Structure 1
Amino acid sequence: MPKMIFVNLPVANLKKSMAFYASLGFTNNPMFTDDTAACMVWSETINVMLLTHAKWRTFTTRAIPPATSSEVMLAISCENRAAVDAMNTAAAAHGGVADINPIQDLGFMYNRNLADPDGHVWEAMWMDPSAIPSGPQPD
């Protein structure tokens, strides 16, 4: 079995969150989905588990942060700059917020940050490793 990551996120409305993530390009794995949780697949090794608040509370007694806070920013790679832009457009059209931080364009790397309906922060990014500058960079 390859090493995998399952990002677990508490969500207020499971169906709304599933639709939001589907709009970004995630697919649902019905094997790990029921009325309390949904597995949304980004790649063969990256999965997001959307958990109702009640389900989340079976795993931890720690408080669910308010949607206005940032605990982590989850970065996922996209095929190209247009895919980064499309993800932000989809986020804004499906209950999320696009560009919660300034767009970053370094030439070899491009990213835009979005928030899902529950305020979880994602960074859609594209990078061309062959274009990374070598040597010391100016301040």
Structure 2
Amino acid sequence: MSRRLPLLMAALCLALSTACGSDPEAGDSCSVGEGYCQSSSEALVCDGGSLKLLNCRGANGCSKDDDGDATCTFGDFRAGDPCLSTQENAAQCDASNANQLLRCSGGSMKAEACKGCAVQSGTITCQP
């Protein structure tokens, strides 16, 4: 029985790597809703069954709520930033360039040139 315990513990550590000291990494498999703060401005968020590193440049950055779950405030996307598959086609005006729209496409924010990006009554207007 004592020989089985180390093997059982090793198997459990492989299955639950975060509980055994190994930090989660981008690309690790995950369950929907799973997420971790990597720093105050970055989070690992489950997207399509694997963890994806996202920037949390919003007002609250990345923080843990009362239940210990990670909360990432997105807000200030930049061209090239990764985005979630659930954000596909979501867009916002680029905070650093009034003549540019940022749209989530294929897992990253892509810049689209326009003339005067603005939000009016909750709708983005951006003339090509």
Give the alignment's TM-score, normalised by structure 1.
0.27
- Which protein has the larger Cα radius of gyration, Structure 1 or Structure 2? 2
Give the alignment's TM-score, normalised by structure 2.
0.28
Structure with bigger RCO (C-alpha 8 Å, 6+ apart):
1
